[in-house]
Amino acid sequence: MYYAYASEGETTMIRVLIVDDEPIERIALQKIISEGFTEVEVVGQAVNGREAIEQTKLLKPDLITMDIKMPGLSGLEAIQGIKAAGIRTKFIMVTAFDTFEFARQALQLGVSDYLLKPSKKAVILETIGKVVDEIVAERKEQERLQMESERLRKMLPIVEADIVSQLLFDDVQSVHLRENIALLGLPGSKGGFVVNLLLSDSKKGEGALGDLENLYSTIIAQLNDATVHFWIGKLSGKQVPIIVFMSGELSYRNHAVGIGRKLVQLVQRHSEFEPFAGIGGLCIDIGDAMRKSYHEALLASVDLTLPSRFRLYEDLPQHEGVPARIDTLEMEKNVLEEVRRGNWEAAADQAIQMIDAYEGAGEQLSMAQQRIFEVLIIVTRMLHEMSVGVDTPYYPNQSASYVLLKAETRTIFNRLAQTAAALEGEMESDLLLTLKRYIKEHAHEELSLERIAAHVDRNPFYVSKLFKEYFGMNYIDYLTECRVETAKQLMQETDKSLKEITFDIGYNDPNYFSRVFRKIVGSTPTDYRKQLLRPSVKKQS
C-alpha cells in the first residue's frame, strides 16, 4: 500500500536521519520513507552511535530512527549524548527486542515510538507518520506562539501609550486599565514621577514631522538601552509625556535630575529640536496622583529659557513676601485639572481665585497678570498634548485694575472654550471619516481594533467609544457590513464561487460567512445570487 503524507499549509520538509549498523536496513528504510511521504526528506545516515551524534549536530534532523544494538556506542547511549548536546529532535527506536526493560529505558529518554525488526511497510509508514504528524502540529503551535508574541510586541507600545493617556488625561478610566497595567507589569514599587518633554523648533530651522517621529523612536530606544524604567505616552504636537519609575537606591531628586539631563542631551545629540523637560513631584500611587505630578511637570516648564533645559517642580521660585504664593500653586493645578475635564467655567473661576489671592496679598497688578498669562501658556500646551491645537491667548494690553484683569481673564477662558469645542468637533468629524474610509479600504484584511486605532493615533477604547456614540454600532459591525456589501458586489459583477468570495472579503470559513450574510441580508449567499439571476432568466423566456 502506497502511503503519501502531506501536511496542510506546511512547506518545510521534515528532516530524517537513519541510524543503523546494517546497510541493507538503512537502504530499505530510506526507500520506504522516500516513496511513502511527500513532505519527508532523509538527510543522512549513520552507522553507529558516535557517528549519529556527529551527524545530528551537523544536519539538525527533526526525526531520528535509531537502532538500539550497534557496535561501540549503543542507540540509547547515542540518544543520551544528543540530548546532552541540547539538540531537540524526536526519536523512533528500531529494535529486535520487545522487552519491558527496553520500553522502560525508551520512555525515560522521551522516545516517541519504536519499530520491531522486521516490520511490515504499512507498520513503518504508520509509525513514522504519527511522529511526523506530531512534528507538524508542534511546528504549527510554534508558529502560532511566534505570531502571538509578535502581535503582543507590536501592541505593547500602543497599550503603554494608552495607559499614560488614561492616567494623565482621561476623566473616566477604562475598565481595562488594570488589565493593561497587569499586562505590562509595574516597573517598580517605589513610585514614580512625570516628565513632560517639550520639543521646540531649533533656531537653525524648523524640524519636520518625520524628524519628530524618528526622534520619538530614538528616545524610546535610548531610554530602553539605559535601563530606565518608564512608560511613554504618544507624541502629541511637540510634547511627550513620560512616567518614570523609581529604581535602585537613588533619591527622587538625583533620579529626576539624571533623567532631565539624559533627555536634554539625547534630544540635542539626535536632532535639531530645542528640548525642555518639566519634571513633576514623586508619587507613590500610580493612580490619580500621577495626574498631579503631570500638572506639576507642566508648571515646571513655564520658563523655557533656563540654561539647564530642565526644571523640577520643587525648584519653582517662591516669591518672598507673598504668602498667597503657596496657595496659588494649588490653584494653578486646579485650573489645569478643570481644563482637562472640559470644565472651562470652573477653570476660569480658579484663575479668578488666583487673581484674588494676589490682590489680597498686595501683589503688584503686573505680577498677577504675568503669572496668569504663564498659566494660560501651560493651558495651551496641555491642550496641544490632548491633540487640541489652539493659539496662545494674549491680553490686549496691560490691565489698568484688578477688576479689568478678572474680566479680561474670563473673556480669554471663554474664547479658549469656544475654540477648543469647535476644534474637537472638527477633529472628531475628520477622525470618523478617516476611520470609516480606512476600514472600508482594508476590510478584506485581518483588521483589529488596535490596528484601526493606531492608524489614527488614538487609543482603542476611544475609537470604540466614538463608533458607538456616532454610529450606534461597534467597529466590528461596520467592518462586517463593509464585507457583506463587497460580497454582494462580487456576486453581481463576477463569476467567482462563493468560496472564493469568502476569502476575498476577509473570511476563512464559508459556513461562517454564510451565517453572517444571512443575518444581515436576510437570505443565504446562494439564494441571494439566485435572485440576481432571475430577471435575466425571465428575459430569455
- DSSP for 508-531 reads S-HHHHHHHHHHHHSS-HHHHHHH
Measured CA to CA, the distance from residue 269 to residue 224 in angstroms comes to 17
* Count of CB atoms situated within 10 Å of the CB of 523: 13
Would residue 177 count as lying in a domain?
no
Boundary (domain end) residue, out of 282, 312, 342: 312
Would residue 49 count as lying in a domain?
yes
Would residue 113 count as lying in a domain?
yes
Note the pLDDT of residue 63: 95
Question: pTM of the entire structure?
Answer: 0.54
Measured CA to CA, the distance from residue 429 to residue 155 in angstroms comes to 26
Residues 236 and 352 reside in one and the same domain: no
Q: Is 208 left (phi over 0), alpha (psi -120 to 50) or beta?
A: beta
Would residue 178 count as lying in a domain?
no
Note the pLDDT of residue 538: 42
pLDDT tens-digit profile, the chain (541 residues): 333 443 344 447 999 999 999 999 999 999 999 999 989 999 999 999 999 999 999 999 999 999 988 888 888 899 999 999 888 999 998 887 766 566 667 677 778 888 888 889 999 999 999 999 999 999 989 888 888 877 777 777 877 887 888 788 765 555 567 777 777 877 767 889 999 998 887 655 555 556 778 888 888 888 887 778 889 988 876 788 999 998 878 899 999 999 999 999 999 998 888 899 999 999 888 776 788 898 888 888 877 888 899 999 888 875 444 444 446 777 888 888 888 777 888 889 988 988 888 887 778 888 888 888 888 888 887 777 666 667 767 787 778 888 888 899 999 888 888 887 776 666 567 777 888 888 888 888 888 877 887 787 776 766 777 777 777 777 788 888 889 999 998 988 888 899 999 999 988 888 888 888 988 888 899 888 888 776 544 444 3
Residues 342 and 415 reside in one and the same domain: yes
Amino acid at position 317, single letter: P
Closest CA to 200 of 288, 271, 294: 271
Residues 404 and 473 reside in one and the same domain: no
Residues 6+ apart with CB under 8 A from 131: 63, 90, 92, 112, 113
Amino acid at position 20, single letter: D
Residues 6+ apart with CB under 8 A from 105: 76
Would residue 436 count as lying in a domain?
no
Residue 129 lies in domain: 14-141
Residues 457 and 518 reside in one and the same domain: yes
Residues 6+ apart with CB under 8 A from 165: 233, 234, 459
Residues 336 and 392 reside in one and the same domain: yes
Residues 25 and 107 reside in one and the same domain: yes
Q: Cα separations (Å) of 374 from 58, 106, 280, 381, 400?
A: 70, 79, 17, 11, 19
Residues 350 and 277 reside in one and the same domain: no
Note the pLDDT of residue 9: 40
Note the pLDDT of residue 203: 54
Residues 232 and 253 reside in one and the same domain: yes
Closest CA to 243 of 202, 199, 281: 281
Note the pLDDT of residue 327: 60
- Tell me how many domains the chain contains: 4
Question: Per the structure block, which three cell numbers stand in for 304?
Answer: 523655557
3-state secondary structure of 209: helix
Measured CA to CA, the distance from residue 169 to residue 336 in angstroms comes to 10
Measured CA to CA, the distance from residue 530 to residue 28 in angstroms comes to 57
Measured CA to CA, the distance from residue 477 to residue 464 in angstroms comes to 11
Measured CA to CA, the distance from residue 229 to residue 109 in angstroms comes to 44
Positive or negative, the CA dihedral 255, 257, 262, 263 is positive
Residues 61 and 99 reside in one and the same domain: yes
Measured CA to CA, the distance from residue 263 to residue 275 in angstroms comes to 8
Would residue 281 count as lying in a domain?
yes
Boundary (domain end) residue, out of 312, 338, 373: 312
Residues 74 and 135 reside in one and the same domain: yes
Closest CA to 306 of 272, 262, 261: 261
What's the start-to-end Cα distance of the chain, in Å? 55
CATH number at residue 30: 3.40.50.2300
Would residue 400 count as lying in a domain?
yes
Would residue 501 count as lying in a domain?
yes
Q: Is 456 left (phi over 0), alpha (psi -120 to 50) or beta?
A: alpha
Residues 195 and 226 reside in one and the same domain: yes
Measured CA to CA, the distance from residue 298 to residue 59 in angstroms comes to 61
Boundary (domain end) residue, out of 281, 312, 343: 312
Residues 278 and 333 reside in one and the same domain: no
